[in-house]
A and B are shown apart, each in its own frame.
Chain A
């Protein structure tokens, strides 16, 4: 390591843009959250923590929060377990054409989220989608991915489709760094394939699993693109406060309630950061 303040030459430009696009908006959001627009007289008045008290008591906010929470406790484990199994299978050397599987399973990550939602939205539809084909085949009308209770699982399916490959690659990269000697030692001990997975591979994956879990939780709490785009197909199912992010967005851009919207965003940010932090603490302390 070179002791030299010249390091700032390289770090400085990044930090300058970072300050403008990360730190300044955070500061500005906090500022906004402490004020409220006067309805009749115009202008902003300082209201202290009143906006926060309103969010805490806001049933729309909690409904949207519980929705993404129920989404993530099912979707994140399913997605990560699929990704883990795929990574272990590809790394196992028991697969025909392993590198082909690796690249194809990763491909959906290269599909823009918007296109993925449009595509799945059409597929779900009863106009010319595969759901309609399936219903014709079965002679039923039972499969309605865009209705009521189907909607959240339908969105979960889109997110899973998009991100299994990405997480698989994170896990696979971690597996590649396991030293060969560990496998040799396991083989000398006569360990079975499953035992090797449990004793060698899963411990090696711990850090990667913690990181992937944190990123997935953050992603779930930010859920926006999928419901916002599907909303045009099912406006009666997806409300303007379907997820906390959609709520914040619609408060701002449909309701002009910028102060309240900023407060919702901050509350969500704090909840997300706390949960990510707890996951990190637990993940680094406990074994899988």
Chain B
């Protein structure tokens, strides 16, 4: 990291103070969520929001969340992982290959590809949801995992990022040298290009993981069987259950389940920050 000014300005307590205020706004809801996950339902109602309750019930809550309704939460977690691994993994692979192809080959129709992609990105994703649902239901794909996985495979933002990244990260001479050595195009991609693209790939993968992990609208319309739900749809169903007529509210499970849903992504972002931050910076060079 370099400083942006050659003069190395003095640290400002005022600026730091203002940023701490914003930090509080960012963190207080998450703190509330964590503290609430440590409370029993009774304590939720009777204790202050930003402090612990009488009993520290975090582990009891986690156990209840994981075992409620024959462990349906674990099933939802497994579904989410499946959608993330296949959907985000596939999206990253497709975007990487296509970005590389657009950046490093000049072929007929390349400009048309750009035009179509840019046009399509402006179309609101949810405008596509209803027709996609009807199409998939004709094809017999609704209420299957494919209804979630196939639409997740396309990431125009990922393609854009990989295209910009590949333009800079892979020298043409290196590809030419590999061609002179007699390597095929596909082999060059897997043996030469992929390694150079690694930071860009981590960035695209991470953002694809976030968008599939957080996917709500698509599974909401595509799936009606609870055993196919991802965590997002499952949690809202639990939450709705609390307000239904004659239903037993399970606030503590919704809150603890929410906390458990956040943790993996936060950990992934913290552990991988070196990679995705460098990937993003490179991606913005050509804005």
Contacts and interface: CB of A to CB of B under 8 A. Distances in A.
Contacts of A269: 123-124, 127
Interface residues of A, number: 110
Interface in B93-135: 94-95, 97-98, 100-102, 104-108, 110, 113, 116-117, 119-120, 122-135
A106 B207 CA distance: 13
A8 B185 CA distance: 11
B49 A113 contact: no
A178 B154 contact: no
B248 interface: no
Interface stretch (A41-49, A73-81, A145-153, A257-265): A257-265
Contacts, number: 311
Chain A binding surface SS class = helix
Range, interface on chain B = 35 or more
Interface in B33-57: 33, 36, 44-45, 48-50
B105 A7 contact: yes
Interface of A: 1-11, 13-15, 17-18, 20-26, 28-29, 32, 82, 86, 89-97, 99, 101, 103-116, 118-123, 127-130, 132-133, 161, 164-165, 169-170, 173-178, 180, 183-184, 187, 193, 196, 207-208, 211, 214, 218, 221-222, 224-225, 229, 232-233, 245, 248-249, 252-253, 258, 261-262, 265-266, 268-269, 272-273, 276-277
Interface of B: 1-13, 15-16, 18-19, 22-23, 25-30, 32-33, 36, 44-45, 48-50, 94-95, 97-98, 100-102, 104-108, 110, 113, 116-117, 119-120, 122-135, 150-151, 153-154, 156, 159, 172, 175-176, 185-186, 189, 210, 213-214, 216-217, 221, 231-233, 235-236, 239-240, 243, 251, 254-255, 258, 261-262, 265-266, 268-270, 273, 277, 280-281, 283-285, 287
